Homo-oligomer: A and B are copies of this chain.
Amino acid sequence: MANLKFDKEITALLVIDPYNDFISEGGKVWDRLKGVAEANNCIPNMLQVLNAARKAELRVFYALHHRYRPGDYETWKYIAPTQKAAWLHKTFENGTWGGEIRSEFKSQPGDIVALEHWCSSGFANTDLDLQLKKHGIHRLIVIGLIAHTCVEATIRFAAEFGYEVTMVKDATADYSDEEMHAALDVNIPSYASAILTAKDIVASISSL
């Protein structure tokens, strides 16, 4: 359980895409996520971890997907399937409720909200790596959505870029158990040093 001994100076909580479109009733993608999210108590678990981190004064970082704006993709010569989908569905549309952070998860003064990213990784083409370094962070506790896309991508990039990662396995969700399994059981174990429950993480953070 060595990984549970977090050093507050070098550890941060990373919250991924807590947008209304993902995790609020009425959000564009919620209907596809709520089966898994309600089964593992995802939203309450995310909130417990966030609150525990704030109470323990762990620095909180946000990695957010690009909010859709008209004209984003029309001029691109090259585009990935996930970007075509974002274009088609206008996910997290800028200026709409769906593109806002769910209220309980909004950033507070002292939190760091990284620049929005264009694909799935919170690190790619943003200032997340810079902001982590500016705050002396080397370890990340990760919560948020969606397990096999943005969460897995961000964890993979974190490992590639030199960070140690702890994944909170019941503070994430996905379209189906199959995709949760691919992320949490097949892939993330190669890149995250620990994969724990919200309960264990909260206990560990609370002892800081």
Contacts and interface: CB of A to CB of B under 8 A. Distances in A.
B110 A159 contact: no
Interface in A68-88: 71, 75-82, 85
A159 B127 contact: no
Interface string A139-150: 100000000110
Interface residues of A, number: 57
Contacts of A187: 148, 152, 182, 187
A109 interface: yes
Interface string A180-198: 0110001101111100000
Interface of A: 59, 71, 75-82, 85, 109-110, 112, 115-121, 124-127, 129-130, 133-136, 138-139, 148-149, 152-153, 156-157, 159-165, 178-179, 181-182, 186-187, 189-193
